[in-house]
Amino acid sequence: MKIGDKVILVQTTEHYSRGVVGSTYKIVDILKTEIKLCSGVDPDLSHCFYTHPNNVMHSSLANSTGADYDIDKPKTESEAFAADLDAMIRNITDLLKSKNKAYGNSALKPAKIFSQLDATESLCARIDDKLMRIKNRGITDATEDTVDDLIGYLLLLKMSM
């Protein structure tokens, strides 16, 4: 596999849950234990995410039984943990960067049109909202995005301090 190749997402996992299984994506970055896939031609305008190379199949192999790629795989439990952690954090930071691009830097520099809260107070209010949603609905597959949002808001709060 190389940058520019088209691949089909054949599975998602607990730590690489982004993407639509069966869809074709373009490889735009290759790291030691994961690859970045994008759904469109321009990565800046596309839905992009990281996944493990074992979760994809080269699109030219779609009618065969698959392939064994020569990619470094984690060798120890510690390396596997590190790779999973990096992927989870990268998904959240990619989400934050995408939202920052769409909304401007409103999390750290609020417009103060309706609310007069500064960035830190505003982020604390958003964190309270996410915590209340989790308190009221619990942590389930349906609230997984809420947990990701909460982690993102906590990172932004750290940046605002």
Total domain count, the chain:
2
**More confident call, 1 vs 126:** 126
Residue 41 — very low, low, confident or very high, per pLDDT cuts 50/70/90? Answer: low
Same domain, yes or no, for 70 and 11? yes
Same domain, yes or no, for 71 and 110? no
Residue 61 — very low, low, confident or very high, per pLDDT cuts 50/70/90? Answer: low
Residue 83 is assigned to a structural domain of this protein: no
Rounded CA separation 159/9 (Å): 34
Cα radius of gyration (the chain): 18
Average pLDDT for residues 54-79, to the nearest whole number?
61
Segment 90-103, tens digit of pLDDT: 888 888 988 888 88
Same domain, yes or no, for 109 and 71? no
Average pLDDT for residues 54-76, to the nearest whole number?
59
Same domain, yes or no, for 68 and 13? yes
Same domain, yes or no, for 10 and 66? yes
Under DSSP, is residue 58 helix (H, G, I), strand (E, B) or coil?
strand
Same domain, yes or no, for 112 and 57? no
69: its two tokens: 């790629």
In order of 5, 6, 37, 50, the CA distances from 23 in angstroms are 14, 10, 11, 14
151 lies in which domain range?
105-160
Whether residue 64 has pLDDT greater than 50: no
High-pLDDT (> 70) share of the chain, %: 86
Same domain, yes or no, for 10 and 70? yes
Domain end: 37, 54, 75, which one? 75
Is the CB of residue 71 less than 8 Å from the CB of residue 51?
A: no
Residue 81 is assigned to a structural domain of this protein: no
Residue 92 is assigned to a structural domain of this protein: no
Residue 132 is assigned to a structural domain of this protein: yes
Angle between helices 77-103 and 144-160 (to 10 degrees): 80
Q: What sections of the chain are H helices per DSSP?
A: 77-103, 119-137, 144-160
Same domain, yes or no, for 113 and 155? yes
Residue 136 is assigned to a structural domain of this protein: yes
Segment 4-39, tens digit of pLDDT: 889 998 888 888 888 888 888 889 888 888 899 988
Domain end: 75, 92, 120, which one? 75
Amino acid (1-letter code) at residue 26:
K
Is the CB of residue 35 less than 8 Å from the CB of residue 29?
A: yes
Residue 75 — very low, low, confident or very high, per pLDDT cuts 50/70/90? Answer: low
Residue 99 is assigned to a structural domain of this protein: no
Residue 33 is assigned to a structural domain of this protein: yes
Residue 19 is assigned to a structural domain of this protein: yes
Segment 101-115, tens digit of pLDDT: 888 999 999 999 999
